[in-house]
Structure 1
């Protein structure tokens, strides 16, 4: 049986760059988002296996925006993040990427209004209506912090943070 050209290509080891660029949609043009069409992490950031190193049978998985940076701009300094200007996790256009520290990436996220706040945060234990009720009770002087903490099953510190607007700042009383 004679193998087809596609089967031969499949058997042939392809470089990371070759595997990478065949899964990128560049139809948006040079200034647009180049979307990763391959595998993703929980439907968000693209992922691809690096070439195996040493005795590895399979290479380690890497996020595609980091691979795009390395393929187009070179190594990523230790401790640096590859951040998106466009805020599109599947975008791999190096013109849309920048290097920053973890703190810079978080500040960028917050400045663009993408940080989880209130009950959209994974750690929130209260609902907005509860926070508003707590603020009204505190303003009226009807309840003590410890009473509210016990009633809502949160710490006194959480109630203080609500009172002094260190948390739930975005919510009006």
Structure 2
């Protein structure tokens, strides 16, 4: 299991994070299958919890695994710590990641602004393009991709991104802010 787990992340040298490259949930937390199909113990677990279990030991009941780096993709056990749900909420509040004021008001979904009109546009954690912490491309790369006449697959290989991402860039579904 350890070998399989270690194939699913890459160390990021600047932050020290071990970035999960396999399946994730809707919040960006890694998902890792554990147990056996044969004996019926097979299930999907949250990758930071698996990391803690492998490298640090057992997680007590009703205990969360929290990130000191605030990066849901990170599975580096040195960036993880144990805490209660209350500790998690205090950590979240101390780091300015809770709903506040008008942002928490009850608004019909059809009236929620999107894109550049959305209240989080350009704020930390919601930065478009190369300002995003996980960006693989620069604005110059995007301009070069759009001008490139090769197939999406060929371009994707060169820039080490998926061909779907290249197609979205060319169609201005991604990196739309780059002219």
Short-chain TM bin: 0.5 to 0.7
The alignment's TM-score, normalised by the length of structure 2, stands at 0.55
The CA deviation at 1:54 is 6.6
Matches within 5 A, 1:1-173: 16-28=1-13, 32-42=16-26, 44-52=28-36, 55-56=39-40, 59-121=42-104, 124-125=105-106
The CA deviation at 1:18 is 1.6
* Cα deviation digits, residues 80-108 of structure 1 (max 9, x gap): 10000000001001110000011001000
C-alpha distance in 2 between matches for 1:75 and 1:60:
17
The alignment's TM-score, normalised by the length of structure 1, stands at 0.57
Structure 2's unaligned 5+ residue stretches are: 109-179
Residue aligned with 1:83, SS: strand
Larger radius of gyration: 1
Residue aligned with 1:45, SS: coil
Q: Say whether the 8 Å CA contact 2:9–2:20 is kept in structure 1.
A: yes
The CA deviation at 1:27 is 4.1
Structure 1's unaligned 5+ residue stretches are: 1-15, 128-173
Runs of 4+ aligned residues of structure 1 deviating over 4 Å after TM superposition are none
Larger RCO (alpha carbons 8 Å, 6+ apart): 1
Paired residue total? 108
